[in-house]
Amino acid sequence: MSQKAAKTWCLRLLPVILFICFATFYYSYGFTQSFGGTSKSPISSKLSCGGWLTQKKWESLNFDVSRQTQLFLKLEDFFWRERLSRLALPYGIKGSELLLLKVLAGIARYDVPANIENIECRTCVVIGNGFGIKNSSLGSVINKYDVVIRMNDSPVRGYEEDVGNKTTMRFFYPESASHNPELHNDPDTLMVLVPFKQQDLQWIKEILYNEKRVSKGFWKAPPQIWLGDVSKIRVLDPHFLQHTADRLLHIPFVPKSKQLPIHPTTGILAVFVALNYCDVVHIAGFGYPTSKNHKQPIHYYGYNTMKSMKNSYHDLNHEAEALKKLEDSGAIFYLHPHS
């Protein structure tokens, strides 16, 4: 082959070589960014929102969900839907319609802020309260996500190095509410009420309308004074708890006779909501020690141990298996080592 012919052949191959190099970089970089294979922040690139990784995630989950799903109940829904729910709380609103109408009228806001809603590729991290996040030094990484979801009354102040200090949404119910949400949340944090029973809606209604507080019907007395901004309250659509139980955990809505009801934890509910709403879902602080070890702390704060979970309405082993399946499918990624 002449030198001229060889040069022509090389020029013809150049576009192919460049394409192969670009494709290799794209997928390897997207993979490492999604699955923590680099020393950089796992969300420093939006490449993980596209390509085969996301497609594989949704194909394996088969949840029939959409990132455009409406998260919160809206007042106008009551005037347009012929039948809102066939199930009562916590999986539907049957029997609680009038109570909800008054709650939603008192809130008057049902949206996610536009600066989050309009993000083309939403990166989300769900922060559990588990001991595994302690001494992780993940705080600066967590703060870089578009959406940071926390649960219940988990503290932030004093734990910033491990858990960060950004909170986009905080899922809670009356017994897990802090009397002053401003202590451990941002001024614009959405306080997302997860109603498990009618008393939960009654409690928030009493807060909204400054009515006499009634503490009957709670396993733990909720705050009688709540100092949060009511304009930041949202009520999570029970649709999400229903499908967390049904599609993710396969929990029967009606337990067998003489069997305690089992409900999803707020944590795995938040993971399911994130899978509906976000393009990239990472988690931290999930996982409990083995139930046999009753002295092991279960939270990154406080002194509660597995003994406190003895009479819980949750199946923690079952939830751990569900999270493992999500992890194996690539739907979620843990930010720290876990068992």
Identify the three-state secondary structure at position 228. Answer: coil
Quick one: pLDDT at residue 135?
Answer: 94
Quick one: pLDDT at residue 298?
Answer: 86
Q: What is the CA radius of gyration of the chain?
A: 23
Integer CA distances (angstroms), 16 to 21, 76, 283, in order: 9, 55, 39
Burial of residue 143 (number of CB atoms within 10 Å: 0-12, 13-18, 19+)? middle
Quick one: pLDDT at residue 130?
Answer: 92
Question: Distance (Å, rounded) from C-alpha 30 to C-alpha 25?
Answer: 8
Find out whether 248 and 268 touch, Cβ atoms under 8 Å.
Answer: yes
**Confidence class for position 262, pLDDT limits 50, 70, 90:** confident
Q: What is the mean pLDDT of residues 119-126?
A: 92
Percent of the chain at pLDDT above 70?
Answer: 73
Q: What is the pTM of this model?
A: 0.83
Question: Distance (Å, rounded) from C-alpha 233 to C-alpha 171?
Answer: 10
**Confidence class for position 295, pLDDT limits 50, 70, 90:** confident
Catalogue all structural domains in the chain, each as residue range(s) with its CATH number.
Answer: 61-334 (3.90.1480.20)
DSSP label at residue 130:
B
For the stretch 9-27, pLDDT in tens is 555 555 545 444 444 443 3
